[in-house]
């Protein structure tokens, strides 16, 4: 039921985003740009590029600004404002201390009930972020390991990874929309439905290719967040946390049986298994590579 709720929420959200972007794009092309002497209505390539930019960056940024809202409603979460247990106090105090060290507003702290050990950070800006920790993570890691994971997530916040990922996603989306529309338009002029089908097919194929640079950047940002954690609490604690999370995740039936298609929020993980097809699409480096990088910092 929980997964169905998340899927339904995602579908509704995407429909609303699509409607919003169609209205916004129409207003921009027909009213806003002409006010500044830019009229792309008579040029297919210019209008195509404008629509691609609207959908590419618009969709990415709307998703970014809705990321906290979606995360809270897609999981059974509870915000920690007044810690009532030792673990909650450890999580809250660690995030607060790291935020003060970084000179940013303290992210919201949330816990959610899931046996799979996980933590993630999301939010539109460094000063408007949230960090969430699963019960499986909090209960199975010792204090030093838990602090390391929290420092890793704060590294994502401090490094501005969410915004950087959104910019890259928007750029890739723009290329996908532009190329698909440009190739399918001549066909659409002869046969609307054939052109429409070709456009969708091209978008799907190009989106797969676009995932390669996005996944590469995601792996780079994991190394950066690990480095932040190593500087904040020590490399040994982060290495120990990664080893334990890998063991617990592989042991968990919930993790093993979760199909890869359900990991749409794969970047919202401290650890994720590699793609069965190729490492090019892996959002996280292997544990071995991350441990090796951390050992190199000693």
Quote the tokens at residue 206.
């190009």
The pLDDT, as a whole number, for residue 32 is 81
The low-confidence residues of the chain, meaning pLDDT below 50, are: 1-4, 6-7, 254-267, 275
Could you confirm whether 88 is annotated as catalytic?
A: no
The pLDDT, as a whole number, for residue 269 is 65
The pLDDT, as a whole number, for residue 258 is 43
pLDDT in tens, 237-250: 999 999 999 888 87
The pLDDT, as a whole number, for residue 2 is 44
Domains and CATH numbers, the chain: 76-157 (3.30.2010.10)
The pLDDT, as a whole number, for residue 126 is 94
Instruction: Please identify which of the residues 88, 102, 108, 153 carries the catalytic annotation.
Output: 153
The pLDDT, as a whole number, for residue 128 is 96
pTM for the whole structure: 0.81
Beta bridge partners of 78: 111
pLDDT in tens, 260-294: 433 334 445 666 655 455 578 888 899 999 999 99
- Any residues with CB less than 8 A from the CB of 131 and at least 6 apart, and which? 95, 107, 108, 109, 110, 119, 120, 121, 150, 153, 154, 157
Strands 108-112 and 119-125: unpaired
């Amino acid at each position: 039921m929980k997964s169905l709720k998340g899927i339904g929420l995602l579908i509704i959200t995407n429909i609303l985003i699509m409607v919003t972007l169609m209205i916004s794009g129409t207003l921009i092309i027909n009213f806003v740009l002409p006010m500044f002497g830019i009229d792309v209505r008579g040029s297919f390539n210019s209008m195509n590029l404008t629509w691609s930019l609207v959908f590419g960056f618009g969709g990415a940024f709307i998703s970014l600004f809705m990321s906290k809202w979606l995360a809270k409603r897609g999981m059974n979460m509870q915000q920690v404002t007044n810690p009532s247990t030792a673990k909650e106090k450890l999580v809250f105090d660690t995030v607060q201390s790291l935020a003060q060290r970084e000179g940013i507003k303290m992210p919201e702290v949330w816990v959610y009930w899931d046996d799979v050990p996980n933590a993630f950070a999301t939010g539109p800006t460094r000063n408007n972020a949230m960090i969430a920790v699963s019960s499986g993570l909090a209960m199975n890691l010792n204090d030093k390991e838990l602090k390391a994971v929290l420092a890793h997530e704060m590294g994502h916040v401090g490094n501005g990874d969410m915004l950087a990922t959104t910019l890259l996603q928007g750029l890739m989306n723009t290329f996908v929309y532009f190329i698909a529309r440009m190739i399918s338009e001549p066909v659409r002029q002869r046969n609307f439905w054939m052109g429409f089908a070709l456009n969708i097919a091209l978008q799907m194929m190009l989106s797969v290719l676009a995932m390669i640079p996005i996944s590469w950047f995601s792996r780079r940002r994991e190394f950066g967040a690990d480095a932040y954690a190593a500087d904040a609490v020590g490399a040994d604690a982060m290495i120990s946390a990664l080893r334990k999370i890998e063991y617990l995740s592989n042991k968990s039936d919930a993790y093993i049986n979760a199909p890869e298609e359900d990991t749409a929020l794969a970047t919202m993980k401290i650890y994720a298994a590699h793609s069965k097809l190729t490492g090019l699409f892996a959002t996280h480096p292997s544990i071995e590579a991350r441990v090796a990088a951390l050992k190199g910092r000693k």
